[in-house]
Amino acid sequence: MSEGQSDARYGERMQKKKEIMDSRIGQANDERGVVIVNTGTGKGKSSAGFGMVARALGHGQQVGVVQFIKGKFATGEEAFFRQCDGVTYHVMGEGYTWETQDRERDTEMAEAAWEKARTLLQDESVSLVLLDELNIALKKEYLDLPTVIEDLAGRPSMQHVVITGRGAPQDLMEVADTVTDMRKEKHAFEAGVKAQKGVEL
Amino acid sequence: MSEGQSDARYGERMQKKKEIMDSRIGQANDERGVVIVNTGTGKGKSSAGFGMVARALGHGQQVGVVQFIKGKFATGEEAFFRQCDGVTYHVMGEGYTWETQDRERDTEMAEAAWEKARTLLQDESVSLVLLDELNIALKKEYLDLPTVIEDLAGRPSMQHVVITGRGAPQDLMEVADTVTDMRKEKHAFEAGVKAQKGVEL
Residue B154 DSSP class: T
- Is the model's pLDDT at B57 over the cut of 80? yes
Residue A200, amino acid: E
Tell me the C-alpha distance between B152 and A142, whole Å. 44
Assign A4 a pLDDT band (cuts: 50, 70, 90): very low
A-B contacts (CB, under 8 Å): 276
State the SS3 of B60-85.
Answer: CCEEEEEECCCCCCCCHHHHHHHCCC
Which residue in A28, A42, A181 is closest to B189 by CB distance? A28
Across chain A, what does the average pLDDT equal?
85
- Supply the CATH number for residue A145's domain: 3.40.50.300
Q: Is residue B1 part of a domain?
A: no
Verify whether the Cβ–Cβ distance A56 to B198 is below 8 Å. Answer: yes
Mapped onto helix, strand or coil, the DSSP state of residue A144 is coil
Question: B71-82, pLDDT tens digit by residue?
Answer: 555 688 888 999
Predicted confidence at residue A184, as pLDDT, reads: 86
Residue B198 with chain A: CB contacts under 8 Å:
52, 55-56, 59, 61, 127-128, 160
Residues facing residue A4 across a β-bridge: none
Domain housing A142:
31-185
Pair A138, A69: CB distance under 8 Å: no
Q: What is the mean pLDDT of residues A102-119?
A: 91
Tell me the residue length of chain B: 201
Quick check: A183 pLDDT over 70? Answer: yes
Contacts of B67 in chain A (CB under 8 A): none
Using the predicted structure, report yes or no on whether residue B3 has a pLDDT greater than 60: no
Span B82-132, pLDDT tens digits:
989 999 999 887 655 555 567 888 889 899 999 999 999 999 999 999 999
Residue B72: what pLDDT? 52
Nearest to A181 among B98, B185, B199 (CB): B185
Chain B residue with minimal CA distance to A8? B102
For position B2, what pLDDT does the model report? 45
- Asked if A198 and B42 come within 8 Å (Cβ–Cβ), the reply is no
Q: Check residue A182 and give its pLDDT.
A: 93
**Whole-angstrom Cα distance, residue B119 to residue B129?**
11
CA distance A88 to chain B (A): 16
Residue A101 has pLDDT above 70, yes or no: no
Flag whether B100 is in a domain. yes
Convert B78-133 into a string of H (helix), E (strand) and C (coil).
HHHHHCCCCEEEEECCCCCCHHHCCHHHHHHHHHHHHHHHHHHHCCCCEEEEEEEC
Strands of the sheet containing B62-67, edge to edge, are: A87-91, A62-67, A126-132, A160-164, A35-39, A178-186, B178-186, B35-39, B160-164, B126-132, B62-67, B87-91
Residue A23 lies in a domain: no
Q: Is residue B21 part of a domain?
A: no
Query: Would residue A194 count as lying in a domain?
Result: no
Q: What would the pLDDT profile of A15-68 be if each residue is shown by its tens digit?
A: 776 676 666 656 566 788 999 999 999 889 999 999 999 999 999 999 999 999
Question: In this structure, is residue A156 part of a structural domain?
Answer: yes
Express each pLDDT in A64-88 by its tens digit.
Answer: 999 998 655 568 888 899 989 999 9
Q: Which residue has the higher pLDDT, B118 or B193?
A: B118
Task: Tell me whether residue A12 is in a domain.
Answer: no
Confidence of residue B4 (pLDDT cuts 50, 70, 90): very low
Is there a domain that residue B60 lies in?
Answer: yes
Domain count, chain B: 1
Instruction: Answer yes or no: are the C-beta atoms of B186 and A178 closer than 8 Å.
Output: yes
- pLDDT level of residue A2 (50, 70, 90 thresholds): very low
Question: Across chain A, which distance is largest between two alpha carbons, in Å?
Answer: 68
What is the predicted ipTM? 0.76
